[in-house]
Chain A
Amino acid sequence: MVENRPFMTFITHLVLILGVMMIALPIWITLVAASHDEIRMLQAPIPMLPGTHFIDNLKQTLFGAGLSGDQTPVWRMLFNSLAMAMMISVGKIAISLISAFAIVYFKFPFRMGFFWMIFITLMLPVEVRILPTFEVVANLGLLNSYWGLSIPLIASATATFMFRQVFLTIPDEMLESARIDGAGPMRFFWDILLPLSRTNIAALFVILFIYGWNQYLWPLLITTDTDMTTIVMSIKQMLESAEQSPKWNIIMMTAFLAMLPPILVVVGMQKLFVQGLTETDK
Chain B
Amino acid sequence: MAEIKLENLTKSYGDTEVLHHIEGDIKDSEFVVIVGPSGCGKSTLLRMVAGLEIVTSGQISINGNVVNDLEPADRDIAMVFQNYALYPHMTVRDNMAYGLKIRKIPKDEIMRRVDEVADILEIRAYLDRKPRQLSGGQRQRVAMGRAIVREPSVFLFDEPLSNLDAKLRVQMRLEIRKLQKRLGVTSIYVTHDQVEAMTLGDRLMVLNGGYVEQFDTPIELYERPASLFVAGFIGSPAMNFVSADLANNVVTLANGAKLETGLKTSGKVTLGMRPEHMIPDESGAIKIEVDMLEQLGANTLVHGTLQGTDIPFVISLDGIQTIEIGATLSFHAPENALHLFNIETGIRLND
Contact = CB atoms under 8 A, between A and B. Distances in A.
Given A187-B102, A191-B98, A180 B73 contact: yes
A178 B73 CA distance: 9
Contacts, number: 60
A179 interface: yes
Given A187-B102, A191-B98, A179 B52 contact: yes
A191 to B, nearest CB: 7
Contact of B79 (A180, A187, A281): A180
A173 B47 CA distance: 11
Given A173-B85, A192-B87, A180 B50 contact: yes
A183 B86 CA distance: 14
A193 to B, nearest CB: 10
B81 A177 contact: yes
B89 A177 contact: no
B99 A174 contact: no
B212 interface: no
A171 interface: yes
Contacts of B51: 179-180
B85 A182 contact: no
Nearest to A170: B88
A196 B72 CA distance: 23
Contact of A181 (B73, B89, B132): B73
Interface residues of A, number: 19
Contacts of A191: 87, 98
Contact of B87 (A174, A179, A180): A174
Contact of B72 (A174, A179, A198, A282): A179
Interface in B73-111: 73-74, 77-79, 81-83, 85-89, 98-99, 102-103
A171 B73 contact: no
A13 to B, nearest CB: 39
A183 B97 CA distance: 13
Please indicate which of the listed interface residues A178, A195, A198 has the most CB atoms of chain B within 10 Å of its own CB. Answer: A178
Interface in B131-174: 132, 150
Interface string A173-209: 1101111111100010001100110100000000000
Contacts of B52: 176, 179-180
Contacts of B132: 281
A171 B78 CA distance: 18
A182 B102 contact: yes
B102 A173 contact: no
Contacts of B281: none
Contact of A180 (B82, B83, B89, B99): B99
Contacts of A192: 87, 89
B71 interface: yes
A37 B132 CA distance: 58
A174 B98 contact: no
Given A176-B52, A187-B102, A182 B89 contact: no
B102 A183 contact: yes
A186 B318 CA distance: 61
Interface string B299-338: 0000000000000000000000000000000000000000
A281 B88 CA distance: 10
Interface of B: 50-52, 71-74, 77-79, 81-83, 85-89, 98-99, 102-103, 132, 150
A-B residue pairs, 9 tightest by C-beta = A182-B73, A173-B85, A181-B99, A177-B85, A195-B89, A182-B102, A180-B72, A173-B81, A179-B72
12 contacts: A171-B83, A176-B85, A179-B51, A179-B73, A180-B51, A180-B72, A180-B79, A181-B73, A187-B102, A191-B87, A192-B89, A195-B89
